[in-house]
Amino acid sequence: MTGPGATGTENSHVDGRGSHFVAANAIRNVIIKWVMHPSARWAPLLAACTGLVIAGSTWPDGPASQYALWGTLAGLSVASAAARVLHGKPQQGTADSRHVRVVGILSLFSVLATVGAWLAFQHVVTHGEVDVTGQVHTRGVQPLDDTGHRTLSLLLDAPALREPRNALRLTLAIDDHDPAGPTCLPDTSATVSLLTSGVAAQTRTVRPGDTVDFTLGARARSVRIDLLLHTAHGCRMDVRATGAVLHDM
């Protein structure tokens, strides 16, 4: 026989399961009503397009490759939102379960893709690469040689560093001053030294066309890189920055 206590426990379990079922069913009905409401039909597409407009109006610098994730998610959000709009009501005029499921999946997918695209874009804005090649200034007399004119300074001022990044990737071109004469490139190298307030001195040796990375710290207000040329006797060389990219390491 089952005692009164067991019956009460069983009833409480049934009541608990029943209340959970009622709550879940109520939430499901609310979601269905929102998804199927006429005003919600355009909401995902509006959110996706708004994200595109904001991104376009605040577009930062940097290579296109760093926007690949944002572009993929933004495209998926717009495509799924457009599919949601085009997925009209069933012909019989009732929102059957299959139709509701498809519309719900499209709406949810579009919203999640829009949020993901926005987060990806904000990551690029905060940590993406910033091309400052055109803002590198040189101080010194060129061409450089192996005797009296061996040094040159490369400078980045505060306007070029307005986007806070903690590293600089620098690519240097070292070319023969007289392209018609014998080349001195095989015998040429340079020592580059970062001299920036608040950052430990860093020295690198580069060959023509090499790329080097310097750590700038949390917030550099200006960057100065001194260059010392090493070349053969009688050679005259021109130095210029062909790439300068701020980035986070």
Convert the pLDDT of each residue in 55-64 to its tens digit: 888 887 778 8
Give the model's pLDDT for residue 91. Answer: 54
| Top-confidence residue, 14 or 178 | 178
CA dihedral sign, ordered 156, 159, 164, 169? negative
Residues 1, 13: Cα–Cα separation, whole Å: 19
pLDDT (mean) for 9-28? 56
70, two tokens: 């944002």
pLDDT (mean) for 162-185? 91
Res. 2: pLDDT tops 80:
no
Nearest to 140 by CA among 126, 127, 154, 161: 154
Give the model's pLDDT for residue 88. Answer: 61
Q: Is 76 helix (H, G, I), strand (E, B) or coil?
A: helix
Give the model's pLDDT for residue 149. Answer: 82
pLDDT (mean) for 178-187? 91
Give the model's pLDDT for residue 14. Answer: 44
Q: Contacts from 44-47 at CB under 8 Å and sequence distance 24+?
A: 44/77, 44/80, 44/81, 44/84, 44/106, 44/107, 44/110, 44/111, 44/114, 45/78, 45/81, 45/82, 45/84, 45/85, 45/110, 47/77, 47/81, 47/110, 47/111, 47/114
Percent above pLDDT 90 for the chain: 45
